[in-house]
């Protein structure tokens, strides 16, 4: 077994305010197996058989923190900003007033799911789902947001706000090969874990802020009004990036203190890709069979950094995993396209 622990310098502070700090723990366990190598005629001993673990073995593959770290951070920041600023954006609602009027005027079409057979067509159902998801539901949230903000006005106060998020990480693919003196056996790596982030800030919240009622950035408004911009946000969340950046600039003068804590935890398992014989890349060629070898990995990394300004978003990265609501909306849009009707719901 192999293990290591590394950390940043320990800072003895005032036991109240957080300090920047980091650590990484790494532990590997090797499970032995057997090797049976067959040499060409007239070369070496003809056969080499042994059990145990080969000398000079590789460490297992460590899945990089990478994009999962950015996704977790931006998600945590979005949740924090939701508490600081709220989710109400009347600027978009007013800009889409014409679409809202058409939606209200077409109320009977939302309920017109039934045809002669008693069931709606696929296109009717698709239109109904999109009308609810990106029309009625948003209108309902705006009405609730207006009422909530009307009751939320208070005197300026210092407040601690927290936003947290966790992103699962998985990998199944080629691992580090198992080496012997002349041969190597291919392995498969199966890794599971998570990347997590927690952002904590203290700031002075005003009794009334126009930013809690509407976006003040024309670029954000323009993006939300682009047809199907919400589809782009499923994969590359431009909308959240713009709103989080705007929030940072608006509240930067009210920021008092804060910190960001990030955690990466993975557990990996590498095992032989196959029990079939393989051929070495050496000269002369050696045919070998490996059985039983495997490696397990436990990896933990933590980093805490003290904030000196209101946290800015990180550049968004590609996300290919969709939730159930997004998959339903994608199916509804596809149904409209196949049916020859291209709806233009707002961004």
Report helix angle 218-225 to 238-251, nearest 10. Answer: 160
Which pLDDT band, with edges at 50, 70 and 90, does 128 fall under?
Answer: low
Are the CB atoms for 290 and 49 separated by under 8 Å? no
Q: Which of 313, 323, 309, 61 is nearest to 197 (CA)?
A: 313
3-state helix, strand, coil in the chain (%, to 5): 35, 30, 35
- Sorted by sequence, the CB contacts under 8 Å of residue 145 that are 6+ apart come out as 86, 87, 88
> What's the pLDDT at 341?
46
The three-state secondary structure class of 152 is coil
Query: What proportion of the chain, given as a percentage, has pLDDT over 70?
Result: 61
**Which among 38, 16, 6 is positioned nearest to 284, based on CA atoms?**
38
Return the domain boundaries, the chain.
2-85+156-338
- Token pair 């003040």 is found at 216
| Residue in 21, 3, 22 with CA at minimum distance from that of residue 11 | 21
Residue scoring higher pLDDT (303 or 140) = 303
On average, the pLDDT of the chain sits at 75
Q: Is the peptide bond before 291 cis (omega within 30 degrees of 0)?
A: no
Give the Cα separation of 283 and 288 in Å (integer). Answer: 14
pLDDT at 267: 97
The tokens describing 327, both together, are 């998959």
**DSSP 8-state symbol, 253:** G
pLDDT digits (tens, 9 = 90+) for 328-343: 555 555 565 555 544 4
Q: Give the integer Cα–Cα distance in Å for 326 and 233.
A: 11
Q: Identify the DSSP state of 126.
A: H
Tokens 């961004």 correspond to what residue?
A: 347
Integer Cα distance of 44 and 99 in angstroms: 82
pLDDT single digits (tens) 278-310? 776 666 677 778 888 888 999 999 999 999 999
Res 263: pLDDT: 98
> What is the pLDDT, as a whole number, of residue 192?
96
Mean pLDDT of 7-11: 85
> Which residue did the predictor score with more confidence, 31 or 148?
31
Q: pLDDT tens for residues 243-254? A: 899 899 988 989
d(CA 237, CA 346): 16
DSSP state of 66: H
CB atoms within 10 A of CB 176: 17
What's residue 342's pLDDT? Answer: 42
Residue 163 structure tokens: 């936003």
Q: Give the model's pLDDT for residue 339.
A: 56
């Amino acid at each position: 077994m192999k293990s290591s622990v590394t950390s940043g310098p320990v800072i003895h502070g005032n036991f109240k305010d957080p300090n920047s700090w980091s650590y990484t723990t790494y532990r590997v366990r090797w499970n032995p197996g057997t090797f049976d190598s067959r040499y060409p005629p007239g070369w070496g001993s003809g056969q080499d058989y042994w059990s145990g673990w080969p000398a000079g073995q590789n460490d297992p593959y460590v899945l990089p923190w990478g994009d999962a770290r950015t996704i977790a951070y931006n998600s945590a920041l979005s949740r924090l900003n939701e508490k600081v600023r709220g989710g109400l954006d009347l600027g978009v609602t007013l800009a889409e007033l014409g679409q809202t009027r058409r939606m209200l005027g077409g109320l009977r079409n939302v309920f017109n799911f039934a045809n002669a057979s008693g069931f709606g067509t696929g296109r009717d159902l698709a239109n109904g789902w999109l009308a609810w998801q990106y029309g009625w539901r948003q209108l309902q949230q705006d009405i609730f947001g207006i009422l909530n903000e009307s009751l939320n006005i208070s005197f300026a106060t210092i407040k601690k706000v927290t936003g947290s998020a966790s992103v699962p990480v998985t990998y199944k693919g080629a691992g580090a090969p198992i080496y012997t003196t002349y041969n190597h056996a291919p392995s498969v790596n199966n890794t599971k874990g998570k990347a997590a982030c927690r952002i904590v800030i203290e700031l002075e919240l005003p009794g009334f802020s126009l930013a809690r009622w509407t976006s003040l950035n024309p670029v954000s408004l323009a993006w939300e009004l682009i047809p199907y911009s919400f589809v782009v946000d499923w994969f590359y969340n431009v909308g959240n990036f713009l709103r989080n950046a705007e929030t940072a600039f608006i509240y930067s003068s009210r920021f008092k203190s804060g910190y960001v804590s990030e955690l990466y935890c993975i557990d990996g398992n590498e095992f032989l890709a196959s029990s079939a014989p393989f051929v070495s890349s050496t000269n002369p060629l050696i045919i070998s069979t490996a059985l039983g070898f495997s490696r397990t990995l436990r990896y933990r990394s933590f980093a805490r950094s003290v904030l000196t300004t209101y946290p800015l978003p990180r550049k968004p990265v590609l996300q290919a995993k969709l939730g159930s609501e997004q998959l339903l909306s994608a199916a509804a849009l596809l149904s409209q396209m196949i049916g020859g009707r291209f709806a233009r719901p707002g961004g």
